[in-house]
């Protein structure tokens, strides 16, 4: 297969673009990681006209612009060998992705009063956000995560080898921990093992080491130890 020219366009944050980055990294697939500041993105009319829906993340592959987080992540998963060939396994991976994204979307509504990065959207004040998150953590979150825990099978979510679903679960907890630094995975041990599977992947470890701002962690051969998340927010 000839090498593809791949560029990811997103904001300079993990957000909804990170699963695609992680999978390209896990697959050892070269890509250009173009990161925008909010103002820069807002003023980049040339980019916006090229984006299928005027939004990021977007993935340009050999000159073709693709959008929508799940579509580009699925594309990355296929390239990286992280998407099952079996249609049922693929559908099970998909349902986990959609579920994690639905669940994370609930938290996004507690952070932004509209579409993140869109003109007019602002962030809620930190104390207001934390109050909403604390309530969600007490009420909805335990059952939602317990449903995911029930689906975990051994060290992966689907099948015997790491897939996009595992990367998604890893990213799910990583993003939750960014919001709730004291969140422990102890109540969900099977999901903890899945996260370890991803965190122990050599190329994922390499990615995290290369991005210490986003992953302020100590990475060991057995996985990932959360370091600064207990001391404060980024």
List of residues contacting ligand GSH (CB under 6 A):
15-16, 54-57, 68-69, 115-118
Q: How far is CA 54 from CA 31, 44, 57, 107, in A?
A: 21, 11, 10, 23
Q: Which is nearer to ligand GSH, 86 or 102 (CB)?
A: 102
Q: Which is nearer to ligand GSH, 14 or 201 (CB)?
A: 14
**Nearest distance in Å: CB 138, ligand GSH:** 27
Q: Alpha helices of the chain — where are they, by DSSP H? A: 18-26, 38-43, 45-50, 69-80, 87-111, 126-138, 140-151, 164-179, 189-199, 202-210
**Nearest distance in Å: CB 190, ligand GSH:** 27
What the block records as the tokens of 58 is: 């977007």
Q: Which is nearer to ligand GSH, 175 or 201 (CB)?
A: 175
State the Cα–Cα distance between residues 49 and 199, nearest whole angstrom: 37
Q: Is 59 helix (H, G, I), strand (E, B) or coil?
A: strand
**Nearest distance in Å: CB 201, ligand GSH:** 24
- Nearest of 229, 227, 154, 159 to residue 197 by alpha carbon: 154
**Tokens 């809620």 -> residue:** 124
- DSSP symbols for 11-52: ESSSGGGHHHHHHHHHTT---EEEEE-HHHHHH-HHHHHHST
Q: Which is nearer to ligand GSH, 96 or 219 (CB)?
A: 96
State the Cα–Cα distance between residues 19 and 169, nearest whole angstrom: 10
**Nearest distance in Å: CB 189, ligand GSH:** 30
Q: Which is nearer to ligand GSH, 118 or 126 (CB)?
A: 118
Q: Which is nearer to ligand GSH, 8 or 90 (CB)?
A: 8
**Nearest distance in Å: CB 186, ligand GSH:** 30
**Nearest distance in Å: CB 73, ligand GSH:** 9
């Amino acid at each position: 297969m000839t090498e593809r020219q791949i560029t990811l366009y997103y904001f300079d944050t993990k957000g909804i673009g990170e699963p695609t980055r992680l999978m390209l990294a896990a697959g050892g697939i070269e890509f250009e990681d173009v990161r925008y500041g909010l103002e820069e993105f807002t003023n980049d009319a040339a980019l916006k006209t090229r984006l299928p829906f005027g939004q990021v993340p977007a993935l340009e592959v050999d000159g073709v612009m693709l959008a929508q987080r799940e579509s580009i992540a699925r594309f990355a998963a296929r390239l990286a060998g992280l998407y099952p060939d079996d249609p049922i396994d693929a559908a099970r991976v998909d349902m986990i992705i959609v579920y994690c994204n639905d669940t994370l979307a609930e938290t996004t509504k507690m952070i932004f009063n509209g579409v993140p990065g869109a003109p007019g959207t602002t962030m809620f004040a930190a104390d207001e956000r934390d109050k909403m998150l604390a309530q969600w953590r007490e009420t909805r979150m335990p059952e939602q995560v317990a449903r995911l825990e029930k689906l975990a099978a051994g060290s992966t979510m689907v099948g015997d080898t790491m897939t996009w679903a595992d990367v998604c679960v890893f990213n799910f907890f990583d993003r939750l921990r960014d919001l709730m630094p004291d969140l422990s995975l102890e109540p969900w041990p099977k999901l903890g093992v899945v996260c370890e599977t991803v965190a122990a992947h050599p190329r994922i470890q390499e990615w995290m080491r290369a991005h210490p701002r986003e992953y302020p962690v100590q990475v060991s051969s057995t996985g990932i130890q959360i370091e600064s998340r207990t001391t404060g927010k980024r």
